[in-house]
Amino acid sequence: METSTVWWLLAGLMAALELMSGTFYLLMLALGMAAGAISAHLGLGGTAQLTVAALVAAAAVLLWHRIRPDKSKHAVDRSPDVHLDIGNTVEVKQWASPQATVVVHRGAEWSARLMQQGLPEDALPKIGPHRIVAVDGNTLVLSKI
C-alpha cells in the first residue's frame, strides 16, 4: 500500500471521528494528515511527511484558537441560542426571600432569583410577571417587567 494512501485513510478516519465526537481539533489533525498525504505524493521522505503533517496540524490548531470567537464576550448563561427559556415570562406569586423564589415554567417548578437591580437587601421584590434574562445552572435569573 502506498504511503499516501495510508495518510488519506488516516485523514478520513480523523474526519469521521470528528463527525461522531464534535471535537473540532480532530478536523485540524485531519488537515495535517491530508498535508502528509500531499507531501507523500510529492515524493518527500517519511520524516519530511511527518514533519509537514505535524506543522500543518499545529498551525491549524493555533489559527483556530486565534480566529474563534471569544467565549467571554458571549456569555452562555445569557445566550438565547443556548437556553431557549431566555426571553420567556414567568409569574412570580411570592418571594421566599429577598432574592429567591420558586416559579412554574413549562409545567415544572424552577428555582429563580432576581437579577441584582439595586434593591435593599431586606426588601422583597414585587410579585407579578418577570422576564427570564439568564440561566445559572438550574436557576432562572429574572428581571421585573
Query: How much is the pLDDT for 72?
Result: 55
Query: How much is the pLDDT for 73?
Result: 53
Residue type (1 letter), 12: G
Q: Are residues 55 and 100 in the same domain?
A: no
For 60-79, the pLDDT digits (tens) are 999 988 887 665 555 666 66
Q: Per-residue pLDDT for 93 more than 70?
A: yes
Query: How much is the pLDDT for 79?
Result: 67
For 115-126, the pLDDT digits (tens) are 876 666 666 778
Higher-scoring residue by pLDDT: 99, 71: 99
Q: Are residues 16 and 54 in the same domain?
A: yes
Q: How far apart are CA 125 and CA 91, in angstroms?
A: 13
Q: Is residue 73 situated within a structural domain?
A: no
Q: Is residue 52 situated within a structural domain?
A: yes
Residue finishing a domain among 67, 86, 109: 67
Q: Are residues 117 and 61 in the same domain?
A: no
Q: Is residue 72 situated within a structural domain?
A: no
Q: Are residues 36 and 85 in the same domain?
A: no
Q: Are residues 110 and 129 in the same domain?
A: yes
Which domain does 35 fall in, by range?
3-67
Average pLDDT over residues 30-37: 96
CATH of the domain at 134: 2.40.50.140
Are the C-beta atoms of residues 54 and 47 closer than 8 Å to each other? no
For 123-136, the pLDDT digits (tens) are 677 888 999 988 88
What's the sign of the alpha-carbon dihedral 133, 139, 144, 145? positive
- DSSP, residue by residue, 20-62: HH--HHHHHHHHHHHHHHHHHHTT--HHHHHHHHHHHHHHHHH
Residue finishing a domain among 34, 67, 100: 67
